[in-house]
Amino acid sequence: MPEDALAEIKRDYVLSKLRDGERIDGRKLDEFRNIEIYPNIITKAEGSALVKLGNTQVVVGIKMQPGEPYPDAPNKGVIITNAELVPLASPTFEPGPPDENSVELARVVDRGIRESEAIDLEKLCIEEGKNVWIIFVDIHAIDDDGNLLDASSIAAISALLNTKVPASRFGLGEDYPLPVRDIPVSVTSLIAGSKYLVDPNKDEMSIGDYTLTISTNQKDYIVAIQKSGGYLLSEELFDELLEVSIRNARKIREIVANKS
Amino acid sequence: MPEDALAEIKRDYVLSKLRDGERIDGRKLDEFRNIEIYPNIITKAEGSALVKLGNTQVVVGIKMQPGEPYPDAPNKGVIITNAELVPLASPTFEPGPPDENSVELARVVDRGIRESEAIDLEKLCIEEGKNVWIIFVDIHAIDDDGNLLDASSIAAISALLNTKVPASRFGLGEDYPLPVRDIPVSVTSLIAGSKYLVDPNKDEMSIGDYTLTISTNQKDYIVAIQKSGGYLLSEELFDELLEVSIRNARKIREIVANKS
Amino acid sequence: MPEDALAEIKRDYVLSKLRDGERIDGRKLDEFRNIEIYPNIITKAEGSALVKLGNTQVVVGIKMQPGEPYPDAPNKGVIITNAELVPLASPTFEPGPPDENSVELARVVDRGIRESEAIDLEKLCIEEGKNVWIIFVDIHAIDDDGNLLDASSIAAISALLNTKVPASRFGLGEDYPLPVRDIPVSVTSLIAGSKYLVDPNKDEMSIGDYTLTISTNQKDYIVAIQKSGGYLLSEELFDELLEVSIRNARKIREIVANKS
Amino acid sequence: MPESRPEKLIIDGKRLDGRKFDELRPIKIEVDVLKRADGSCYLEMGKNKVVAAVYGPREVHPRHLQDPSKAIIRYRYNMAPFSVEERKRPGPDRRSIEISKVSKEAFEAVIMKELFPRSAIDIFVEVLQADAGSRTACINAASVALVDAGVPMKGILTSVAVAKVDGQLVLDPMKEEDNYGEADMPFAFLIRNSKIESIALIQMDGQMTKEEIKMALELAKKGAMEIYKLQREAIMKRYVTEEGIEVEEVNTDA
Amino acid sequence: MPESRPEKLIIDGKRLDGRKFDELRPIKIEVDVLKRADGSCYLEMGKNKVVAAVYGPREVHPRHLQDPSKAIIRYRYNMAPFSVEERKRPGPDRRSIEISKVSKEAFEAVIMKELFPRSAIDIFVEVLQADAGSRTACINAASVALVDAGVPMKGILTSVAVAKVDGQLVLDPMKEEDNYGEADMPFAFLIRNSKIESIALIQMDGQMTKEEIKMALELAKKGAMEIYKLQREAIMKRYVTEEGIEVEEVNTDA
Amino acid sequence: MPESRPEKLIIDGKRLDGRKFDELRPIKIEVDVLKRADGSCYLEMGKNKVVAAVYGPREVHPRHLQDPSKAIIRYRYNMAPFSVEERKRPGPDRRSIEISKVSKEAFEAVIMKELFPRSAIDIFVEVLQADAGSRTACINAASVALVDAGVPMKGILTSVAVAKVDGQLVLDPMKEEDNYGEADMPFAFLIRNSKIESIALIQMDGQMTKEEIKMALELAKKGAMEIYKLQREAIMKRYVTEEGIEVEEVNTDA
């Protein structure tokens, strides 16, 4: 089929460039695409952000409402992260309930926020054991030109940073800013044998869905790792990507902080 | 395929008659089929009616139970209208959750009842903000020989007219008749270019699912309009159908009133 | 197809043996395969058992929690029986919600327990009309070499026999054994015209899914019957199978009682 | 507010609705009541009101469901939301899935499905009002609808239940007897040349001795023969009145 | 905590947001905003913010959905969970199913689908923020996205609603007017050679006299012509700025 | 009634269950435990009890799922409803969907799938009882089941997790360490010729420094080698006892 042929040509091109240590769009191997953050674009949401990572675009909206805490954390707010890979965003996305890719996307973004303890959940307790704030982090991809995951992570934390707790709407006092105390950043690399490409675009992904995502917090601690795709990872490359990811995350964290 | 060929022959026949201003069953362009209403046929329901519109047959049953009001109408009963296009009724209906056709059918019937304010919902409040009567209007098509929508509308209001609020069953005093104060009537026409056929039967529908439904109340106010099907409607025809629909609705309203 | 051919050969073989009153594995027509019962294998469950019926293997686990009674039995505990025919157990099982076979399996097992009144449900009332013990009987087939139904019945009652009501976990006093007062046993036979084979294995089932299940309690009362499969049953055979089933059930009941 | 159990279900040797132990509820059968279906039947059995429709033999989609050697039979028992006291959520629940399965299998045993390879015969039954015994009413209606559709069968299926209430076997139980009785046992029989040939459906739950089971079978057979006559009458009436001569050809027994 | 109805919706001959009766909300249109889609459009209409994407004509899977004589049109109206006050559960509800259906049918009537047998033209619209009139905003965006994708149409679809509030007909109602008004009536028109040719979508709920309906139609047509100009401008701007000459060829009217 | 966190997870240099930091829980492996499956394995790892089955290579339905160049690998991690403290609703939840995905991908990297174009290799793992680390137990069982099914692989997959509790890295965490620890990090390694070759699965959540991550990797490798020996033993025992000579041919390392 012509589509397959085209994909093959793309793949060969990406790989031949890579053999020379180059990328098809001229970026360095460890270089992110341009990041644009548009905070607060959904005024009906408690917080929101549109993020463009190159041509990849993701909107994250935050909604909050009071609800029951988890029984094993009676004095903590609850984060629920959900991703919809709507068919508008890519010719390969299908309508319907979340598939394994959107589930994984949502869970890895969630892990970054949760494990970095970016949100002070204890400040979101209304009545211990009975009533706490539920935070819905809804990831809405609108254009998938590769690396939706990092774009979603950036959009999620950016949206949280401008979120107002809607206390007054529920008769619970005055609105106040969501207590955010860290900026977790995920860095995803495409693995091609012993080589890697940070922040792969869609054309680069034609060599396979072989990625490693490393999320860090502002202390450079690793807070989440996810190997995704049917490939084998060498220890050497893993070690190298720890460094690369921490380095990139620092830069992105600065961009996020400045935009909020 | 033979089925397609048959459909084509039917279509040509309908269209050739129509060119002479005639219909295949001898009706006038603005004439309904015979309407038979059998009220109260389901004694286990709070209200019910079987309606035959020509060979089209629909049963509507009403069930009521106490439940929570909508937050923005704390002192009003709730109407929930649901349609099942069960595969018994037509060779083209499939088992499964409601598809776009049954959803549209239920919503347009619902709109007629709701927007005509046929039911005095404020009289269905049990305890403001906490407990009101929920009315389930369940449309059960059993034979689809065309224009299920009008048959369903007639069956729905007929069933509501003989509905008893089952207060005693829930320890809420004596049963009393549902307060119905209007008789909304929908009139559906099939559109064929600049021509129309009121109350199309299934053979006539072979020219396409191109309909316009106009619902009115007893004051001749329009309470709902729905254009359905991928066709273009001229303003002239729209104007004419407003008149035609009001005229027909008056006759049908009388039939409904007499049968209750 | 080769698979069909193989099935046909098996069927012919089973039938030709049967003509001589024999079975392919040497059993008598009314003889069960060997039964092994491993009680209490899931320590996290309130009760459990692994049952091997020949090569057929089923695990049943019991979980209990407080919940609402049925409105028409306000002082009785509730039994909920569920079967998952997970694809691990057979090349023909598909992932997904329960199909008609797993629904029937669960319901017939449930009927044996319920109609024999094996569990004294009135002793499971916590607060009349408000709070009673819910018993979840979860049937988890892991190897289907024929007659999952009887294996599941044996596993279910075996698991119930070692179930502890987890009262202390819910602050409702001390744990106590589930009050079990009968041992219902189902006996399933494969029907081949005027002949039968008790406890058919998978190869024998190649002649068709034509079974009759008769469940009895310890007084030899029949508590459930289920004819399953598109075949015609003669009265004579039915009469004979009543005897055969009662006889077999007695033996199995003893095995179950001894293992608990 | 569930209703409570009547103190007795049998009073002075009569049932709550005045019936004798071996008496059926009133039955009403109408043939060919739907235009779109290939065959149809409306049936009342006591307070049960059901409509059956048959479509087919017709093509099967998707293709991998086809059987190259015979027609597949599909059967859908469905309750209207308003058919019972408390509104039933639309769509199949576990009970209707089981009823649909055993009813389908009863018909699989009597329809001459080998005559229609690669096709489907669809039997749809809608319960508009349910009392005890809706599955038996549906099978009786479906059976007539299949004749009306001209589907060749080895005979007619006729279905009825027997219950045990206050220790007594009763034919065709109504709701109170079903709810509060000691056992319920639905049957369907293949009837051919006016004779019961074999059992196409049998289920039972409750507690009965072996001897009671056998007596129940006899009672059910008696009831089935009466229902069979009504099914036959309804079919003949339909074809006599409208087409006169066709009755000879219907031949429901061969 | 639902908001309560304002006492009046019209004060001193002006609407709550200061608009005149026949005045549209501010509209912003951007063409070709997505890389992956074949055509796309971002549109704001008051507080509504929507993105439309068009994929196709492309192959249809599974094959039995194909129409050998023409392209099938699919339209998916979807609201982001955060687009409304109270979080919306992801996935289609009955309202979006109906909106998707009538919007799809509006486009079926204007896309030249006979040119692409066996294929599909997919129109996806995501509502990122909803106020009253999100279905009309989506149709306007989808219409531009179709032009951007080069899908041949008989003309442009332009959509706008009219409401009746405090007895007065008003163009393009915002949320309060929609929630508390007496009637709401969305339209979509086929516009060709800068002239309204016919009605592709019409719905209405509320209470209106026949005469009011006709006045509403006139008011909607006026509003549609204004929106049409903005749609045209956005398309031209896109093709003028980037490719200069191509404007002639876009020919949205033929 | 959730259990509360123990005050300390490490007491006097020992873990709550008395293990050393680099000590595995007891492991029990049985091969070929199911008749219907092509390969199977029962495995206990602490309180985890899992069964794995492999079906295939076998035909893929529906056909459009086939890959003309290689076998597709499917992996289903499923928890029995009674496997955990609070009954789990049957069917996949988001957690099992993710575990199934990453486990599938680990096997995709080691199965020689190019040998079986257009077919499927199905790996099903049922968790009968779950403690911490059920995903690693399942991968270990699946790996053995694949060998039992004779599916050619580049080597054996062996999986184990490392946790950080009270600041200390520990091997193969049990439930309390998983629930209340600072980080959890599951691995799966490709082992070939008794040597760890590469990483087939890696996940992590919690907080760890770069240095701790590297130490965790070393600890996991040590644990994996021990598990690998047990996997090998179980396979050899199965083939030695029953068929004597076949052991040579199993060759799990090539």
- Flag if F80 and C138 touch (Cβ within 8 Å): yes
Q: What confidence score (pLDDT) does residue E247 get?
A: 38
- Mean pLDDT over F126-135 rounds to 97
Q: Is the pLDDT assigned to residue E249 strictly greater than 70?
A: no
Q: What confidence score (pLDDT) does residue D239 get?
A: 81
Residues 6+ apart with CB under 8 A from C75: C69, C122, C125, C128, C129, C132
Residue D190 near residue D109 (C-beta atoms within 8 A) = yes
F84 in contact with C, Cβ within 8 Å: yes
Q: How close is the nearest chain B Cα to the Cα of E77, in Å?
A: 13
Q: Is the pLDDT assigned to residue F253 strictly greater than 80?
A: no
pLDDT digits (tens, 9 = 90+) for E74-99: 999 999 999 999 999 999 999 999 99
pLDDT digits (tens, 9 = 90+) for B187-200: 999 999 999 999 99
- Give the mean pLDDT of chain D: 93
D61/A52 Cα distance (integer angstroms): 45
- Mean pLDDT over D12-32 rounds to 96
- Mean pLDDT over D108-115 rounds to 97
Q: What confidence score (pLDDT) does residue E26 get?
A: 98
Q: What confidence score (pLDDT) does residue E251 get?
A: 43
Q: What confidence score (pLDDT) does residue F3 get?
A: 60
Q: Is the pLDDT assigned to residue E1 strictly greater than 70?
A: no
Q: How close is the nearest chain D Cα to the Cα of C234, in Å?
A: 5
- Mean pLDDT over E151-171 rounds to 97
Compute the CA torsion angle F29, F31, F34, F37 (nearest 10 deg).
120
Q: What confidence score (pLDDT) does residue E254 get?
A: 38
Q: Is the pLDDT assigned to residue C2 strictly greater than 60?
A: no
pLDDT digits (tens, 9 = 90+) for E54-68: 999 999 988 888 999
Nearest CB among D100, D109, D214 relative to C232 is that of: D109
pLDDT digits (tens, 9 = 90+) for F13-60: 999 999 999 999 999 999 999 999 999 999 999 999 999 999 999 999
Residues F15-238, CATH architecture? 2-Layer Sandwich (3.30)
Residues in chain E: 254
Domain boundaries of chain E, sorted by first residue: 15-238
Task: Find chains touching chain C: ≥3 CB pairs under 8 Å.
Answer: D, F
Q: What confidence score (pLDDT) does residue C3 get?
A: 63
F7/C18 Cα distance (integer angstroms): 68
> First and final CA of chain D: distance in angstroms?
50
Q: What confidence score (pLDDT) does residue F244 get?
A: 46
Number of other residues whose CB lies within 10 A of the CB of residue A219: 10
Which segments of chain A have a pLDDT < 70? Answer: 1-3
pLDDT digits (tens, 9 = 90+) for C48-98: 999 999 999 999 999 999 999 999 899 999 999 999 899 999 999 999 999
Q: If one looks up domain A3-259 in CATH, what number appears?
A: 3.30.230.70
- Mean pLDDT over F113-139 rounds to 97
Beta-ladder partners of E129: E49
Task: Find chains touching chain E: ≥3 CB pairs under 8 Å.
Answer: A, B
E111/E156 Cα distance (integer angstroms): 9
pLDDT band per the 50, 70, 90 thresholds, residue C104: very high
C93 in contact with F, Cβ within 8 Å: no
- Flag if B42 and D128 touch (Cβ within 8 Å): yes
Q: What tokens appear for A14 in the block?
A: 């990406």
Q: What confidence score (pLDDT) does residue F248 get?
A: 38
pLDDT band per the 50, 70, 90 thresholds, residue F245: very low
- Flag if F87 and C63 touch (Cβ within 8 Å): yes
Q: What tokens appear for E218 in the block?
A: 């006139």
Beta-ladder partners of E156: E191
Beta-ladder partners of A48: A61
Q: What confidence score (pLDDT) does residue D63 get?
A: 83
Task: Find chains touching chain D: ≥3 CB pairs under 8 Å.
Answer: B, C
C106 contacts in D (CB within 8 Å)?
94
Residue of E11, E20, E227, E15 whose CA lies nearest to E138? E227
Name the C residues in 97-156 with CB < 8 Å from any F CB: 97, 136, 138, 140, 142-145
Q: Is the pLDDT assigned to residue C258 strictly greater than 50?
A: yes
B114/E206 Cα distance (integer angstroms): 9
- Flag if E81 and A55 touch (Cβ within 8 Å): no
Residue of D142, D106, D97 whose CA lies nearest to D123? D142
Domain boundaries of chain B, sorted by first residue: 3-259
D75 contacts in C (CB within 8 Å)?
none
Residues 6+ apart with CB under 8 A from D129: B42, B43, B44, B45, D47, D48, D49, D80, D83
Q: What confidence score (pLDDT) does residue A48 get?
A: 98
Percent of chain D at pLDDT exceeding 70: 93
Query: pTM to 2 decimals?
Result: 0.95
Residue of B53, B152, B43, B156 whose CA lies nearest to D44? B43
Chains D and C lie in contact, requiring 3 or more CB pairs less than 8 Å apart: yes
Name the phi and psi angles at A5, rounded to 5. Answer: -60, -45
Q: What confidence score (pLDDT) does residue E253 get?
A: 42
pLDDT band per the 50, 70, 90 thresholds, residue F1: very low
Q: What confidence score (pLDDT) does residue B17 get?
A: 95
Percent of chain F at pLDDT exceeding 70: 93
- pLDDT means per 10 residues, chain B with 260 residues, are 75 94 96 98 97 98 97 95 96 93 98 98 96 98 98 98 97 97 98 96 96 98 98 98 98 94
